Structure 1
Amino acid sequence: MTEKFEEKTISRDVIYDGAVVHLVRDKVELPDGREAFRELVFHRGAVGIFAVTKEEKIVLVRQFRKALEKSILEIPAGKIEEGEEDYQKVAEREFEEETGYQSQEMNLITSFITSPGISNEKLYLYEAKDFHQVDNPLPQDDDEFLEIVELSFSEAEEKMATGEICDAKTIYAMLYWQQRIEGQK
């Protein structure tokens, strides 16, 4: 089936083929017959982990994000490596690497495309339940420097208002948490 808004690829130039992203520049034919260019980022995908402690605090990590030139708070997350097909196992690994927690139950909440205007990156959002600190957790990635931060819902809302929480996956997790809180009332 052809969509009436479909853009047909005329040609593709590979700009960069990296370890994390694959960047291309496509020449496309628009629905009205004109031509345009699209710069696209292809990504294997990622997982994010929403976790709330028994004390009703969301587990976050603070890390420096070079693209923003600042540190932000976000839910634990990580990229899917080449050949990984069991995304729940990826979520379990990333949760332990980034927080030192192991979860007895990891459930898929949803998946979504993070920035469809330029990228195909799909993020799988999981909820960690019944988790505990482990004595010898998996090590963090060599180039990762993280601080674990646990915040109440109202504290996290304040961090959203100040922009310290500003990424889509964490805001999505916060909305999920808010919906769950309101559903319990």
Structure 2
Amino acid sequence: MNARVDDGLGGHTLSRVDLVDQPVSWPVTAERVIGAGSFTALLQDDITAPDGTTLKREYLRHPGAVGIIALDARGRVALVRQYRHAVRHRLIEPPAGLLDVAGEEYVLAAQRELAEEVGLAADTWHVLVDLFTTPGIIAEGLRVYLARDLHPAAAPDGFVKEGEEAEMELSWAPLSDLVDAVLTGALHNPTLVSGVLAAALAEARNDDFASLRPADAPWPARDGLRTS
């Protein structure tokens, strides 16, 4: 039950058990593929709202992605700079990549990306945060992991950096400095912003990250998305 409070501000206060996103799908009466790319497709759906009206909504279908906040023993986070053409910026980002290998477990995808992009492996993994990156227009689920107990690792056999990835190099920055840079508006990548803030909050609990979810935690919100 929702706890209703008469505080003069309107609305009602949600209890802890109410704080969960609800999977709902309004009826789709027509679907059109406007355009398709290498890993995304632009769709336009006709959907029926609860009041019976028909709405047209466009969105990008997306395979989903994982990101990694790789935290070393000195409190530094592994970073890369990557050119993002859509926003015309070279962004500071954590290692990340698409869930584009059929049947690959999420944490295995994160481990692969960590080795490919920055040549690292980690012995300890937790889930930091799950999110929809831009739910108004992109059907992308993103899971950000915390990786610790780091050590060097070779890239998977046959992997060659291409395109924007060919320009990336490993850098490091203290977690506390990254928090400051996020809050001053200097950094914008959503994987970095969400992951860094979640990692800092989890660290502040002083439980050695024991309250975080295990690396193999379910991800039902992403599992329910249409990705192909």
Q: How many residues align?
A: 181
Question: Using the alignment, how far apart are the partners of 2:84 and 2:194 within structure 1?
Answer: 19
Q: 109-118 vs 32-41, which deviates more?
A: 109-118
Q: State the Cα distance separating 1:57 from its structure 2 match.
A: 0.7
2:161 counterpart residue number: 141
> Which string of whole-angstrom CA distances, capped at 9 and with x for unpartnered residues, describes residues 59-79 of structure 1?
111111111101111111000
Question: Using the alignment, how far apart are the partners of 1:128 and 1:80 within structure 2?
Answer: 18
2:217 counterpart residue number: none
Q: What TM-score do you get using the length of structure 1 for normalisation?
A: 0.86
Q: 25-34 vs 152-161, which deviates more?
A: 152-161
**1:160 matches 2:182:** yes
Q: Which runs of 4+ in 1 moved over 6 A?
A: none
The code of the aligned residue for 1:13 comes to R
2:47 counterpart residue number: 28
Question: Using the alignment, how far apart are the partners of 2:146 and 2:77 within structure 1?
Answer: 11
2:151 counterpart SS class: strand
Give 5+ residue unaligned stretches, structure 1.
Answer: none
Q: State the Cα distance separating 1:162 from its structure 2 match.
A: 5.1
**Greater percentage in strand:** 1
Q: What is the correspondence of 1:3-152 to structure 2 with a 5 Å cutoff?
A: 7-134=26-153, 136-138=154-156, 139-143=159-163, 144=165, 145-152=167-174
C-alpha contact (below 8 Å) 1:28/1:37 kept by paired residues: yes
C-alpha contact (below 8 Å) 2:80/2:171 kept by paired residues: yes
CA RMSD for the aligned pairs? 2.2
2:14 counterpart residue number: none
Q: What TM-score do you get using the length of structure 2 for normalisation?
A: 0.71
Give 5+ residue unaligned stretches, structure 2.
Answer: 1-21, 208-228
How many percent identity over aligned positions?
A: 28
